[in-house]
Amino acid sequence: MTRVLVLTAVDVEARALALHLGLASVPGARSPHFIGGSLEIATVGLRASRLAAHSERWRSPDLVVSAGACGALAPQLAVGALVVPDVVIDVAGGRWATTRLPRVGADGALLTVDEVVESPAQKARLWVRTGALAIDMESAAIMTWAGARGVPAAVVRGVSDGAERGVPAALAAAVGEDGRVRPLRAVGAALSRPRVLGDLLELRAGTTAALKSVAAALATLTRSA
């Protein structure tokens, strides 16, 4: 049996994927951690800042998958679209080839960024400069971590926000570095700026659609494990 370790940034992503895939929570876990059969899901925080601290609690994997939501750079990518890149790049010029997954096709590049991209104009500039299909904040670090351990790694992400939308800083601030969502921060941001409430609802719906696509792909992957 191939052990697949799925790593997400945010607790909401891990919990949603575990629910879709029928995984049970690990008793006594101090952060979102789920296991079912060959599949294990855990969180690593924003920018994978908790990767080293949490990794001692995980089983030894045969495959690592960076999973969760991503932001589209390519205009043709709709909300909910699946992004499975064959290469991950970062803003410093780093480049990591992903492992081919059975029954899940891969194509294009995903760009890992250091900061939240707030505007469509910023997204457009990144798309023109890099040619990447989408962005996240963790995959480069996850690929590096897996590579250092000689474990193959891939990326399976879903689009939560299209190229025509960014993520407002006020909403981004509602997620702590540990990947836990602070609901009071999100509510405070929505109440302080009326437009933010609409952004919040749209991002929530987009994230739900994105994670459904990711869960379906992971289900296909586990059937091949």
Q: Which of 61, 48, 90 is nearest to 178 (CA)?
A: 48
Quote the crossing angle between the two packed helices 194-224 and 183-192, to the nearest 10°. Answer: 140
Catalogue all structural domains in the chain, each as residue range(s) with its CATH number.
4-224 (3.40.50.1580)
Q: What is the pLDDT of residue 189?
A: 55
- pTM for the whole thing? 0.89
Q: What is the pLDDT of residue 149?
A: 96
Q: Which residues of the chain have pLDDT under 70?
A: 1, 168-198, 224-225
End-to-end CA distance of the chain: 6
Which residues fall within 8 angstroms of residue 32, CB to CB, at 6 or more apart?
11, 14, 15, 18, 25, 41, 42, 43, 179
Q: Do residues 143 and 150 touch, judged by C-beta distance below 8 A?
A: no
